[in-house]
Structure 1
């Protein structure tokens, strides 16, 4: 009997061998494809997670805006010192790095179990390659934030009212007519006349005094407008600051800067409205504020409340004297009163040519006394019209001589102190006001807890950040993002 295997069995054995080789080759190809897809998915996951972490980290950084700055002035910026007094953009960079790494760290449970993710990512580096601070480009960033805050603010009626008042002021030349200078020139004319001389019984000669009634008023000009207008000086704030400590007077830190457009006339009114909402003034002081007369500071920039209010009083006196002179010199009845008094003096002195100079001297003194009365009304919360009439004129010629005892009350019509202040603010250079507003913001924020060294030139508005990401599998990724505050 033959023991050789049959041909049929040999064929079956060969077929099984062919299938094993084919499956091995196929599995290698499929496995390579699967691994390639897995690696592609891993790389895609790394990139996607890098983008997500960058967005989350930058949003987290921006969420750390200064609460005091926002609550008091509605501005969203990150204080780079974080209240520590160490002003540096590297502080913000470290916060960004920390937020990025936290988003890559394993959970506590994952750490205990040593569980690994398919990405195994970590933050290699986080850099802030560009940033803008509030004071960049001559306060352009600050102005942009203010405009964003005021977006949609209805100022139509306000705009027409302020522009109308300023237009009336300028068309009447109240901001250019220097009444004090005119009065001085008239006094020089009076002084140029040679007065008669009389001889006394003892043989001495004496020049006759004019006895100009205007001298009673003129002798009090040196006291100052503010002192004459406000009787109770104890009500005036005595706060003084060192301006060298604030943004408009010190060397500023600079970011990358922004190319912002200037402030137009319409925008100027929007900014003024913001100042009126956020700043105090005489008669409407804020407890939170360092300087109590902040709007006056925006207009004049002096280092004390008293000095700023005194400057405002001088401006009001300049405007009111011009307005009152225009009315008084055009009122025939009042001019006749002054002329009658001047005629009597010129007759007594035997100098008829002094009649007109003395008349004008009396009218200038009357103008000054009425103007001081106007200032008293305004500082007391009353109204004074831009241009006077018979019904709104306060002082008689007789009361002029003791005008400090006859300071008037509300005229019943016209503008309040804040309206005159708004005109002065409108006429002040927009860039100057904005720089002084930066001072005011610093003054007030420094009075809040944890912000004693607050500086606007380290308040970040926009960040350009670069994140570099590594993995345990040798892959790397980098991303750049620009983030800022949007309204």
Structure 2
């Protein structure tokens, strides 16, 4: 019996150890499951929040953002956390069926939103990233490469023309013409007085040789000085010159004080502010998105708000008229520079300019001013040609970036008749660029940050005016969020943190 008893005690000890190991293993499994369930609850809570992205924003603009105002226009982070908590509680309730009977189960004690990033944070970094990604998916790698090369070539040609015009220009403009003529008149008077004195001294000394006189070209009957005509035309409004006949001025206005770029913005929580270097390709994608999603003047699209929206992205004015006027002015200046380069490069056109400059100098009795008049005349001719260019662009035509004799429209003789031939003298160039393509060049010359800010303005403006969401605020659109939850399992406290962002899980 003593031997049997010793065996029973031994087996009891062995079974105790085995049961302890089994119980420990079960507890370890239950704890591991509790941790998994905790992580799942937090993640599902975040997913339930981010699954409520703005459908209209996605359908219209290919953007994933969560409306932090829940459609009310008032910032409501508490409602967002409540959504996460409700989802987490449901997950814990289903999962606790396995744990019940072993312990009191998992209980959600408390939690909070620890961080979030808004569309407008870091100068719209999240917005910019999504815009570029939308265009990458839309264009594809090959399309991006082709478009990038084409745009770089056009930008280089644009810059080269501006540089050539800066170097080749004598510095005389139409605005300087009157002052230059006055200076020439004064110089001529001084020369005449000097010659009179010399003639008088020569007669007193017994005579002298006669002065040679330069014969000026004869002024044709009815000759009109084109410089004076262009001076008067320059005083007219830009839009009255460049808008084609039969087209009305866009008249929509917006209150800029309500735009995101002009008001105090809601800021994110625990956002790391950092400098962003924008590469050429990203800037190009940003501009392509703008041209893809927003109308310009030639689209003639009734949006219910601003109609010249691409023009707003460039100019940032409060009305369609002002935005179109600013863009038309930029195009006019750019085309004037390009046209001046063509005139300076053409021996035939320079000869025509010099001949007419002599005629004008003869008409003004200022032969010494012919050089100044030539420079002003080149500026007038280039300006007049640019009016026809921009007018053709706004009428849906095309204008060559680099002019040739074949694509040139206005003869020097017709310069005084510009106003009579604004529509009859212009023509479209099949190999030229459209208005939208010229906007593409203007956009690439603008600062990326400003374009991004005004693009966010347009998204907000259209959501409010055209898509029926009057309380929409772009600075309440959430791109990423961090969540913390504390749960109780028996005597243990489990703490979990999770972050999520549209397009990237952190």
TM-score, normalised relative to structure 1: 0.82
Match of 1:5 in 2: none
Cα distance change on mapping 1:45 and 1:323 into 2, 3 Å: closer
What corresponds to 2:199 in structure 1? Answer: none
Quick check: 1:444 aligned with 2:478?
no
User: 1:479 Cα shift?
Assistant: 0.8
> Any idea what the Cα deviations from partners look like across 1:163-202, whole Å, max 9, x if unmatched?
11111111122697489962222331113344999xxxxx
The answer for the alignment partner of 1:141 in structure 2 is 126
How far did residue 105 of structure 1 move? Answer: 3.5
Aligned positions of 1:32-181 closer than 5 A? 36-105=24-93, 120-151=105-136, 153=140, 154-173=143-162, 177=166
Query: C-alpha deviations, 1:259-286, integer Å up to 9, x for none?
Result: 4642112322222222222222121255
State the alpha-carbon separation in 2 of the partners of residues 280 and 117 from structure 1.
64
Kept in 2: contact 1:280–1:289 (CA 8 A): no
RMSD (Å) for aligned C-alpha atoms: 3.4
Match of 1:205 in 2: none
Counterpart secondary structure, 1:124: strand
Give the whole-Å Cα distance in 2 for the aligned partners of 1:223 and 1:367: 17
Separation in 1, partners of 2:65, 2:365: 76
User: Retained in 2: the 8 A contact 1:174–1:323?
Assistant: no
1:254: which partner in 2? 267
> Could you tell which deviates more after superposition, 289-298 or 437-446?
289-298
Residue 387 of structure 1 pairs with residue 402 of structure 2: yes
Deviation, structure 1 residue 335: 4.0
Structure 1 gaps of 5+ residues are 1-10, 198-209
**Distance change (3 Å), C-alpha of 1:179 and 1:126:** farther
Q: Counterpart of 1:322 in 2: which secondary structure?
A: helix
CA deviation after TM superposition for structure 1 residue 351, in Å: 3.5
Corresponding position of 1:204? none
Residue-by-residue CA offset, 1:51-95 (whole Å, 9 max, x unaligned): 221222111111111112211221212111111222133332222
SS in 2 for 1:299: helix
Q: Report the TM-score, using the length of structure 2 for normalisation.
A: 0.80
Q: CA deviation at 1:17?
A: 9.7
Task: Please give the per-residue CA displacement for 1:294-323, whole angstroms capped at 9, x wherever unaligned.
Answer: 222222211222111111111111111112
CA offsets per residue over residues 337-378 of structure 1, 9 Å max, x none? 444444445445543324444444444322222111111111
Partner in structure 2 of residue 377 of structure 1: 392
Q: Deviations over 1:225-261 (max 9, x none)?
A: 2220113475332221122222222222222224464
Cα deviation digits, residues 426-466 of structure 1 (max 9, x gap): 01011111111111121122236663222222221222211
**In the TM superposition, what are the counterparts of 1:74-473 in structure 2 within 5 Å?**
74-105=62-93, 120-151=105-136, 153=140, 154-173=143-162, 177=166, 182-194=173-185, 212-232=225-245, 234-255=247-268, 256-258=270-272, 259=274, 261-288=276-303, 290-407=305-422, 408-447=426-465, 451-471=469-489, 473=490
Judge which range, 28-37 or 89-98, deviates more.
Answer: 28-37
Give me the whole-angstrom Cα distance separating, in 1, the residues matched to 2:487 and 2:164: 64
Structure 1, 90-99 or 142-151: larger mean CA deviation:
142-151
SS of alignment partner, residue 192 of structure 1:
helix
Matched position secondary structure for 2:478? strand
SS in 2 for 1:98: helix
Q: How far off its partner does 1:35 sit?
A: 5.1
Other structure's SS at 1:231 match: coil
In structure 2, C-alpha distance between the alignment counterparts of 1:266 and 1:348, rounded to whole Å: 55
More off after superposition, 80-89 vs 341-350: 341-350
On the 8 A contact 1:78/1:459 being kept in 2, the answer is: yes
CA contact (8 A) 1:93 1:127 kept: yes
Q: Give the Cα–Cα distance (whole angstroms) in 2 for the partners of residues 228 and 467 of structure 1.
A: 65
2: distance between equivalents of 1:330 and 1:157? 31
Equivalent residues of 1:93, 1:128 under 8 A apart: yes
2:165·2:341 contact (CA, 8 Å) conserved in 1? no
